[in-house]
Amino acid sequence: MRAALVVAGLISLGGATHAGARAIAGLAEAEEALSAWDVPRAAVVAERLVSERPDDPRVLHLLGRVRHYQGRYAEAAELFRRVGDEDLARLAADTHEITKNHQRQESEHFVFLYPPGKDEILAPWALETLEAAWERVGELLGYRPEGEKIRVEVVQSAEELARVSTLSLEAIRNTGTIAVCKFDKLMVTSPRALLRGYDWRDTLSHEYIHLVITRKSRNRTPIWLHEGIAKFMETAWRGRPGLALHAASQTLLQNAVEKDRLITFDAMHPSIALLPTAEDAALAFAEVFTAVEFLYERDEGSVARLLEELAAGRSDREAVAAVFGRPFPIFEAEWRRHLRQRDYPDAVASLEETRPRFREDGATGDQDPTELSEFRHISDAEARRNAHLGELLRARGKLAAAAAKFERAFERVGARHPSLSNKYAMTLLALEETERAIRILEKALAAYPDHALTNLNMARAQMQKGNASRARPFLESSLSVNPFDPELFYRLLAVAREDGDEVLAARSRRAIELLGGRVPEE
């Protein structure tokens, strides 16, 4: 659409001259390149056009967009001001203001830009994640971006994410959006901005996959397939795809299937982040995940071929039909049958417990201050009362009595509430009942595999048993959600020294320093 408007404008201005025709062709070529996120080609054309038509507002506008895609935000803002586009000028100026003092670390294919200070902790782990995604996703989707390194920019709040992404702050908060892939780059929120962190390493992989999809399909992938492929593939960097749909989302999906309340694929356009509620967004992600899961389980090469069909100009329904081998309505009917027959987890989990919560939002404002603090979400009154009594006893050092109260609460509600599971397990660890604690934590991880404190407690339990090496994956899982807990890095340093892993030791020492701690001597 934008290319058509530009061409129409130039025809009205440039007439039928050879120079005008050349400019029309150049603008159309550059628009096509930018749309496909082929920034190098767009830049070559834009710079040639500027040399030929230095005062043409459409050419200057094009160059401003190219500069924005290149990360040259101050130049982009000035170009947009010259042609009177105040909205894009504000976007570029805000992005420049937010990122101008960012530090940077680079790997072979990525440049990671982050605010000075504690967010430096993210850099080596982020680059490791992204390089693993570059390799593994490249195998699965048949595409590895080459050329200029991919920009990854860290922002410090929901408000900053809104200013650099064009999403509204309301949409970000309503749906729990914490990262965006746009303008040929990744924009991610620091885990420091959230009360309990979030799965930031999988999120980096997820947003990177959006970039791969856009480039490989020449930006012809509709949102439902975009999100389905990214969600399904996001865990490939750490082993295999298809691990990202946790128990709470699967329960939500199962209920929607039973009640025939699925969100249509068309309703997800133009962005899942624009759906009315976080629950709608979670359901949409679960649906599109399973649609891609269904294709992938039939043929692991189907997703890569799907992107090739889209790049060739086929519609989403035509492309799916081509790789599925039958018309799209049959695919959709078979997918719905797959949902009804799919194995759903036994673990009962709450979507509310998994929702990202920004620190700047503070308390929800709708809770009764007389409720039992961290246990207020436990709807079972008897379980809630026992949990509260258990915590009072634990605080007074009466650990055996506390464990008995926590046990009664846990027997009533199981592992549905991480706050209860972790207080129970921590009490058992303090009593040196390590095996009992591990059994509780295993149930908790089945429901919430990414919960930072649960993983940390499992690491504590393993180290209490003398299994430092077995603690490492749990420590890294905790770090992948909340990387600003000093205890993580003291424990990782101990693991690194035992395993002789100098890379891990160096990262851990630096993290301890950034968090204001003292590195223990060997």
pLDDT along the chain (522 residues), means of 10: 44 54 89 96 96 95 98 98 98 98 98 98 99 98 96 98 95 90 98 95 98 98 95 96 92 94 89 85 93 96 98 97 97 95 83 81 44 77 96 97 98 95 98 98 95 98 96 98 98 96 98 96 82
Q: Which residues pair with 155 in a beta bridge?
A: 189
The CA-atom distances, in angstroms, between 305 and each of 134, 228, 236, 301 are 18, 15, 18, 6
Burial of 443 (0-12, 13-18, 19+ CB in 10 A): middle
Q: Are 133 and 236 in contact (CB under 8 A)?
A: yes
- For residue 414, which of 350, 457, 342, 343 has the smallest C-alpha distance? 350
Q: Are 409 and 388 in contact (CB under 8 A)?
A: no
The CA-atom distances, in angstroms, between 19 and each of 24, 43, 340, 341, 381 are 9, 19, 61, 63, 78
Tell me the C-alpha distance between 515 and 231, whole Å: 32
SS3 113: strand
The CA-atom distances, in angstroms, between 424 and each of 64, 379, 406, 465 are 57, 18, 5, 18
Q: How many CB atoms lie within 10 A of CB 395?
A: 9
Q: What pTM, to 2 d.p., does this model score?
A: 0.91
Tell me the C-alpha distance between 174 and 162, whole Å: 13
- For residue 59, which of 87, 26, 95, 101 has the smallest C-alpha distance? 26
pLDDT of residue 271: 83
Q: Which residues contact 499 (CB under 8 A, 6 or more apart)?
A: 468, 469, 472
Q: Which residues contact 403 (CB under 8 A, 6 or more apart)?
A: 390, 424, 427, 428, 431, 433
Q: Which residues pair with 105 in a beta bridge?
A: 112
H-state helical runs in 71-111: 73-82, 86-99
What's the number of CA atoms in the CB half-sphere (13 Å) around residue 140?
26
pLDDT of residue 362: 57
pLDDT of residue 17: 63
The CA-atom distances, in angstroms, between 18 and each of 25, 55, 59, 261, 427 are 11, 18, 17, 57, 81
pLDDT of residue 5: 42
**The dihedral formed by the CA atoms of 479, 483, 485 and 486, expressed in degrees to the nearest 10:** 90
Q: Which residue has the tokens 């400019």?
A: 23
